[in-house]
Structures are given as C-alpha cells and as structure tokens.
Structure 1
Amino acid sequence: MFWPGALAATTTLRIATIATMPRWMRELAGIRQSRLLDVLVVPVVRIAMRVARVSRWFQLGVLNLLSPSTVPVVAPVLFDVPPTTPGTLTPEQARERYGYPRPAEAHLELRARQRERVFRDQQAPDDDGMVESEGILGGR
C-alpha cells in the first residue's frame, strides 16, 4: 500500500532537487519548472528538515518510507555505530581487496563480442551486459 504522504514527500523532494539545478542544466535535460515553484519549495524543505532533526528515529522512519533499501547503510551512521573495520579504502585498494578488475580492464570479452556484433555483423547490441549486471543492480 502506498502512503499518500510518500507521494507528497517525493514530489516535494523532486521539486526541491530541480530548484538546485542551474537553468542551463535544466535546458539541456529538458526539465521545465517555474521560478515561482523554485522559490516556494525552499521554505517547505527548510521546515521539513528542521522537523526531521527532532529525532533520529523519525529520520529513520521517513527514510524507510522514501528509500527503504538505504536504511541499512544510513542507520548505523545515524546512531553512531562504529565501523566493523576502521579506515577507508581508495577505489584501487577496494578493487584489489575484493577482486574486481580496473574499469578499463573489466568485461573485455563482452566488449569484444559487442564490437564484433555491431561493427562486423552490423547488428544492434544485445542485452548481455544488462543481464550480467542485474544480479548486482537489480532487474528492469
């Protein structure tokens, strides 16, 4: 069941996000929003942010409503849970630790197949890369 407040919240966040974008960026993206709406959304979001700061539990509840998959990531931060592993990794260190190739070296076989399919065989690219990523990124 979809809570009507969630629709109002997500719509307000969308308007507020667009209000932060410069005009040239909106034009490039084909996004239209009036300057009046830009001005009107600012006090609404300021009030909402002040209300949200009242309680970490309230923040977590709102986050669960708007973006439930981010709760496991944000909750420990909100409640000052120390990390299980201190420190941070650079992208290169993380790739080495978890066994991922550098982006330029990733999926070379797939890219070669796609290149042959498009340039040699004159066919449209297939969805192999999308299908391969669905396990990590989710389906369409």
Structure 2
Amino acid sequence: MPTSRGRADQPRREWEDYGFFGPDSPSWQVWTAPTALLGFQRSVVLEHFDPFLAAAVADMYGIYSDPRGRLDRTLAYFLTVAVADGRTAIEASEILMRVHAKATGIEPISGQRYSANNPASQLWIHVTGWHSVLKCYEMYGPGPLSAAREQRYWDDCVVAAELQTCKPSDVPSSRAQVREYFAEVRPRLCSSERAERAMHYLLRTPRAQGKFSLWAGSRLMARSTIATLPRWMRQMGRFEQSAAVDRAILAPTRAAIRATGSPRAKLAILRGYAPMTGGVLRQHLYGDPRPRAETITPARARELYGPAAKLRAEAMFAGR
C-alpha cells in the first residue's frame, strides 16, 4: 500500500471507521495474531492445488522474481480487509482486481483458458485463506474460539468475500460447510510439476531470491505449516513429514507464538518479513482513533468509495 512518505511501514492516511467487523470481532482477534503468518504460508501453498491458479502464478512468475514483495502484498490485502476502514479495503480490492485482470492464459493440463479473477478460483483463495488462519490460531495459538465466536468468524468470512468475484452465497458459512466445500472441490484439485515447484518454493524460499528474512522465516515455519495439513493434501503436494515430527514441532511452535504475541514483537517480525503488512498492522495498533466508531458493509463502502462514487465526484467538480 503506497504511503505519503514512500515507506511501506507508514500509513497513507488515518482510517475513518471500523471497517467491516470491528474491535470486538473474532476476525480482528485471529487475523492480528502471530499465528496468521503460519496460516498465510499454509494458504499460499494450498492455492496451487487449483490448476488454474497454479498456471497464473507460474506464468506471471512474481513469486520467483520478487517473492517477498508478492507475498507481502497478498498478506497486506487480507489484513486490510480484516481490520482497515471501509474506504481502504474497497480501494485495495479494486487494485487487486486490476492486477488479477492481467493474469489470463491457457492452463496447460486441461488446455482451458484461466483467469485469476475467475469466481471459482477466487473462492478457493478466499476459503483456504480464512480457514488456514483459523486452523493455525487453534493449533498453535490460544486454541478454538467459542461456538458463538467461531460462527461469527465464518459470518465475517462471507462478508469479506463480497470484495472478490466469488458470490457470497457460495462461501461456506460454518465449519461443517467448509468440510463440505473441500469434499466438493477435491476431485478438481491436482498437482503438477509447476505447482509442486511453487509450493515447495514458498515453504522454503531460497536465500538468493527471498533474502535473509524470507529465507529464514519460511524455513522456521515450514514444518509447523505442514503439520496442519490433512493426509490427502500432504500426499497430493508431496509434503513428506512424519507424525513424530508433527508431534515434536507442536510445543516449540506454541512457545514461539507466545513469545511473539506482543505488538512490538509482531511489528519487529513484519518489519523484515513483510513491511507492507507491518504498515497495516502498525496503523491498526497505533493509528489515531477512528472518527466513526462504527462498522460499514462492503456494499455501502463500495457505494461511497468505489469507482461509481469517484466518477460522480469527478463529474461534480467538472461541472463547476
């Protein structure tokens, strides 16, 4: 997210409202926890089980030419939708749509045309993102949410989907529906040489391209991330890790999460690993109080701040 000072760790402007969820929401709680980094690594790896997304990522080559920037921008988007104000979230979604509009081509396995904005692919990104962040929060963080707060989390997940091309009615709205969704899409998922290369690259990014922070961070998280995966995903992605390693990694990962739970620690990690995301979190934690202590719906935010609103404003000033 650009800033007025040209620095990724500085806010562009103060936020105006509580965005879509608000300070008492489980979304603010889960998405700002240190476990979100593990969940994010998990989700960007699983993204490649969709053959059309794997083709888009491979053809654009962004994770190989600028792995830290590519990952940082994606995580910053997810965090922006979760905690920023309505204006900022809508503007971020518009930018993402424009970037995805350029990602089109032919998927080599099926020979079909792909588009990164395809609703089915967007739904896979969205569900795996929100599910992965909650999964890691439960496994390595404070533990499961209460039944009521978990339901609210999935309700928030449906709301956040309104910023993408997938239909909110297609988004799972409970843990049971998430399981049903995975069962439904599993026959359409697959791996390939290009997908495997990308998944393992994201799990353990080479130092020469990822620089030290991403090289070290990805390796520190990789085993903990793999430990969250069900057996069928491990087999499909060829993630070889024994049950003994899964058990051994649990306690040290939980200890590391507890040690990095303070705002200062989280920002210190993001400063080197994902500075743009760190800028979003810094503004969330330390920005000025938001003038309107209220939430807003995506539909209302789009009406106020989306392309149509900008056109209306331009027409008004042009007529003066």
Q: TM-score, normalised on structure 1?
A: 0.54
Per the alignment, residue 271 of structure 2 pairs with: 64
Counterpart mapping for 1:1-140 below 5 A:
2-3=211-212, 6-28=214-236, 30-34=237-241, 35-53=243-261, 55-79=262-286, 81-100=288-307
Q: Deviation string for 1:103-140 (max 9, x for gaps)?
A: xxxxxxxxxxxxxxxxxxxxxxxxxxxxxxxxxxxxxx
CA contact (8 A) 1:12 1:41 kept: no
Q: Deviation string for 1:27-82 (max 9, x for gaps)?
A: 44x241312332222222112112213x4222211111221110111113334753
Q: 1:21 to 1:94 in 2, by over 3 A?
A: farther
Q: 1:59 to 1:93 in 2, by over 3 A?
A: same
Q: Distance between the aligned counterparts of 1:33 and 1:83, measured in 2?
A: 47
Q: Distance between the aligned counterparts of 1:44 and 1:26, measured in 2?
A: 22
Unmatched segments (≥5 aa) in structure 1: 102-140
Q: 1:31 to 1:97 in 2, by over 3 A?
A: farther
Bigger Cα Rg: 1
Q: Please, what is the CA RMSD of the aligned residues?
A: 2.8
Deviation, 1:17, is 2.1
Q: Distance between the aligned counterparts of 1:89 and 1:25, measured in 2?
A: 37
Instruction: Provide the aligned length of Structure 1 versus Structure 2.
Output: 98
Q: 1:100 to 1:27 in 2, by over 3 A?
A: farther
Q: 1:78 to 1:99 in 2, by over 3 A?
A: closer
Amino acid of the structure 2 residue aligned with 1:21: L
CA contact (8 A) 1:16 1:42 kept: yes
Q: Distance between the aligned counterparts of 1:78 and 1:16, measured in 2?
A: 27
SS of structure 2 residue aligned to 1:89 = coil
Per the alignment, residue 131 of structure 1 pairs with: none
Q: 1:40 to 1:82 in 2, by over 3 A?
A: farther
Q: TM-score, normalised on structure 2?
A: 0.27
Question: Which one has more relative contact order, counting CA pairs under 8 Å at least 6 apart?
Answer: 2
